[in-house]
Amino acid sequence: MEINKNGGVTSPKGFQANGVHCGIRKNKEKKDLMLLVSETECDAAAVYTKNLVCGAPITVTRKNLENGKARAVICNSGIANTCNADGVEKAQAMCDLAAQYLGIDACDVIVGSTGVIGQPIDLEPIQNGMKALTDGLSENGSDAAAQAIMTTDTVQKSVSVAFELDGKPCQIGAIAKGSGMIHPNMATMLSFITTDANISAEMLKKALVWGVSKSYNMLSVDGDTSTNDTVAILANGLCGNERIEDENENYEIFCQALFAVCNYIVRMLAKDGEGATKLVICDVHGAKTEEIARTCAKSVICSPLVKTAMFGSDANWGRILCALGYAGADIDVSKIDVSFISRKGEIVVCQNGAGIEFSEEKAKEILLEDEITVLVDLKDGEAAATAYGCDLTYEYVKINGDYRT
């Protein structure tokens, strides 16, 4: 299995994509409309936000994916098309436009929107942009598509993974956008994944739910569960493997490749969390159950006091113990060990739930790095989990203090 950092949704065979500025956003430098299409019909699956307030695009996508088939994705940034009286109509109209320009059925289109909630979306710029968007579709269009779905993201998120099924070269590629309103327990943010593997919609859904539970759902930027989060996957089968229809060996290989893609994207999303200067990972080991490990890891990652300490490169391990203590998990706090790890090394700061002497200088050196792992050993069992987050900074406050203007 090989990760290609320059890959994306057009890395698998038979996919084309593009992104343009159509005018939803005022800034003409910023692309705001993307299109992704497969040359053949795909098996497809998606997972969505668990927020009761959910975007109109999700309503339409859910309906269109009922038959497990899709062929294209259209998505805009700038406006979330959520909490608008005419939202579903507009989301449907976006599917209709994509279908018309691509010559496919509107019910084969996945639609997404990301941006401000509660402002009506104007279809006119989308209509006007469709020709250029469609004309520019290309097998090199993944970057343009990835750029068109960015909101406060500072870097484009995309990746692909190459592997083999039945001796045939196969790929999974993805693009995604963050970077605020990101919190576990849902399919976080927007992520579109493509593959040329041949796999049934049912197994695709199963693989996606599993992959998301270990990646997107273990990510938190700010604890806000967004209204529009969607992770959708399209599989066009062009790699030519024997169709995966049960949990056989090829399914396992596919799952591992899908996880590699999700994991890579999630690390990018965490690192580019709004205002973030650091990727913060919490590895919890020695838990009685995986659920306990997950709960503990997420609690540490979500704590504003841990996040600000990471921003300040402050080895304030007491806040980590505090976050473990209020996680609501069945743990014995008097057994817990805590270490900090980065490229600069590892330092143990707490053993058996109490502080130990350590070099503040060494700790500072480790914590000044831009990728920090908080290693927690509960010494209470065999289960483990990893959660992904970032530090909390002045910039987060600045970005979100006046987002709409």
Which positions are catalytic? 188
Nearer to its own copies, 68 or 325 (CB): 325
CB of 61 to its own copies, least distance (A): 18
Nearer to its own copies, 222 or 377 (CB): 222
Structural contact between residues 327 and 299, judged by C-beta atoms closer than 8 angstroms: yes
Phi, psi dihedrals of residue 339, rounded to the nearest 5°: -130, 155
**C-alpha angle with apex 20: 176 to 402, nearest 5 degrees?**
65
Nearer to its own copies, 5 or 328 (CB): 328
The helix/strand/coil state of 68 is coil
Nearer to its own copies, 38 or 393 (CB): 393
CA 42 to chain centre: 21
**C-alpha angle with apex 119: 118 to 123, nearest 5 degrees?**
130
CB of 269 to its own copies, least distance (A): 16
Contacts with its own copies, residue ranges (CB under 8 A): 50-54, 80, 82-85, 116-120, 180-181, 183, 222-227, 302-305, 308-309, 311-314, 316-319, 321-326, 331, 333, 350, 353-355, 392-394, 396-405
Structural contact between residues 146 and 10, judged by C-beta atoms closer than 8 angstroms: no
**C-alpha angle with apex 289: 283 to 295, nearest 5 degrees?**
55
CB atoms within 10 A of CB 141: 24
Nearer to its own copies, 98 or 297 (CB): 297
CB of 189 to its own copies, least distance (A): 13
CB of 331 to its own copies, least distance (A): 7
The helix/strand/coil state of 258 is helix
Structural contact between residues 348 and 375, judged by C-beta atoms closer than 8 angstroms: no
Nearer to its own copies, 4 or 277 (CB): 277
CB of 123 to its own copies, least distance (A): 17
The helix/strand/coil state of 403 is coil
Nearest Cα neighbor of 193 from 267, 115, 258 is 258
CB of 134 to its own copies, least distance (A): 31
Structure token digits, residue 291: 């659920």
Cα–Cα distance measured from residue 363 to residue 381, given in angstroms and rounded to the nearest whole number: 28
The helix/strand/coil state of 157 is strand
Cα–Cα distance measured from residue 148 to residue 157, given in angstroms and rounded to the nearest whole number: 11
How would you classify residue 347: left for phi > 0, otherwise alpha for psi between -120 and 50, otherwise beta?
beta
